[in-house]
Amino acid sequence: MRTNERRAESADIALLLEGTFPYVRGGVSSWVDQMIRAFPDLTFAVVFIGSRRQDYGDRVYTLHDNIVHFEEHYLYEFEVPAPVRAADGDPQAFAKMEKMHDMLRRREDLQGIGKLIHDVIPMLADDGEISEANFLHSRRSWEMISDRYKKYCLDPSFTDYFWTIRIMHKPLWQLARICDQLIPAKVYHTVSTGYAGFLGALLRFKHQRPLLVSEHGIYTKERKIDLLQSQWIRDNRGLFEHDISQVGYFQSLWVRFFETMGRVCYEAADEITALFEGNRLRQIADGAPEHKTRNTPNGIPVEQFAPLREQRPAGIPPVVALIGRVVPIKDIKTFIRAIFIASRQMPGLQGWVVGPEAEDPAYVQECHDIAASLGMEDSLRFMGFQKVSDILPKVGIVALSSISEGLPLVVLEAYAAGVPVVTTDVGSCRQLVEGLGDDDRAIGPAGKVVQIANPEHFAQALLEMLEPATWQAAQRAAIARVERYYTLTQMQDAYRSLYDSLLARSADGVAAGEH
């Protein structure tokens, strides 16, 4: 943990944030910033969890006055350990740890996992029976890893299995230390499952204070995409064993690890929110108890974007803007190819990639190389981070080519500014474009929805959307939809109700649904 410039004795809400606010721009970070500003009467403790400090730049969001406590932790900044003498390890403690692993592996009803984790948490302390040193260096740990390799591992390399298990589990001791040292809070609020969500579960089980889980995307789904694309995970299958339709053993091991953390988080949670019905159903399929789940859509301050409509030129600008981070999950390459195809049929059409490029430099370079190889110097611009309010009046369409989304704020912002969209069929995008329910659908489409990773389909949709009659009808629908269903006030009212309910439970000393 780095030195904290803000410390308090306690807070109303502890926000548990993984890889987002205040260091990374994006939809989730913007949402967190909105939430903190929306409740000036509440005090917040912000816990930022990242990979390594060098992976993040300076803060890009202000710590508002009602953030009374801030701390940051980096789970993969490993220090060179001091020499440790091997110990035997406590057989009863490791038996309890194995019981917990077996319960999670079988994907059975997790009733009782809370009591088990509650009992294990003190054992994870530096002087506990399953301390980090004991897990890494005890004979009992060696025997446990060896036994599980023989029972379950489908890969021939014990060395790779051994080190994967160690690396995979090591951050859990850091999370246990954060849990032990974090200031008291009345409610814990995590904006994902994963490491932040697991920390939320530890805090919930230890202190018996309510836990709220608000997912924008589905963390386990997004990590699965990352893991399947990863190059750092070993795959020891031979040439003739390698079936591209099947993932390697260690990839599947990591996927199960994140799925398991997600299930523990869901079991610990008192309330679980999703941005739209598709994600709520996915949460239930991934282990969330249905009675805990609800839909709470994002909203934006429409009144801040409405004046941008008056700044628009008389005609439709032949400009398509993708506003978002330049990272693989946004599939910038499909956008580039779509602009290349569309600009050959509509000379003068421009594509703008508007978003930060610091997160994945290798991917950014690949995108620049593709654009250069296609000779797109005049039809594509990489503009870096810009104020959205400066961009929206200048463009005809906002585009999203993502392979995964939740409920993207940039679509709502485009609507409020009077800009139709073309998006891939991910997350809530079809709902945002075409409507949900009869009254919403009666408003009409606010753009077009296209297949994932299909630049030809994407290009055709862009050209159709730029037809004046189609564009004008979509603009009217966009403005009507965002003003009726997706205002910031509606979202804040929903979270005010949730916070009030959970704070009341906390004051009573009882969190709903004892675990």
Do the beta carbons of residue 267 and residue 201 sit within 8 Å?
Answer: yes
> Does the pLDDT at position 320 exceed 90?
yes
CA separation for the pair 270, 289 (Å, rounded) = 10
Dihedral over Cα of 502, 503, 508, 511: its sign? positive
Query: In this structure, are residues 88 and 111 in contact, taking their beta carbons and an 8 Å threshold?
Result: no
Reply yes or no on whether the pLDDT at 284 is more than 60.
yes
Question: For 223-265, what is each residue's pLDDT tens digit?
Answer: 877 777 665 555 554 433 444 445 578 888 888 899 989 999 9
Q: What is the mean pLDDT of residues 61-71?
A: 97
Contact 322, 410 (CB under 8 A): no
Q: What is the pLDDT of residue 512?
A: 46
Lowest mean pLDDT among 29-38, 216-225, 388-397: 216-225
Domains in the chain, CATH or no CATH each: 1-82+172-299+487-515 (3.40.50.2000), 302-486 (3.40.50.2000)
Higher pLDDT, 490 or 226: 490
Residue in 226, 282, 281 with CA at minimum distance from that of residue 258: 226
**52 contact partners, CB below 8 Å, separation of at least 6:** 74, 76, 77
In Å, how far from its chain's centre is CA 120?
28
pLDDT at 294 over 90: yes
Q: What is the pLDDT of residues 163-204, one digit of tens each?
A: 999 999 999 999 999 999 999 999 999 999 999 999 999 999
Helices marked H in 182-218: 194-207
Q: Would the pTM count as exceeding 0.85? A: no
CB atoms within 10 A of CB 365: 11
**In the prediction, which pLDDT does 232 show?**
56
Residue 314, phi then psi, degrees to nearest 5? -65, -40
> 98-102, 105-109, 420-424: which range is least confident on average?
105-109
CA distance 280 to 289: 10
Distance of alpha carbon 158 from the chain centroid: 32
Taking only the tens place, the pLDDT of each residue in 333-370 is: 999 999 999 999 999 999 999 999 999 999 999 999 99
**Predicted local confidence at residue 244, as pLDDT:** 44
Residue 110 in contact with residue 288, Cβ under 8 Å? no
- Specify the residue for token string 């194995």: 98
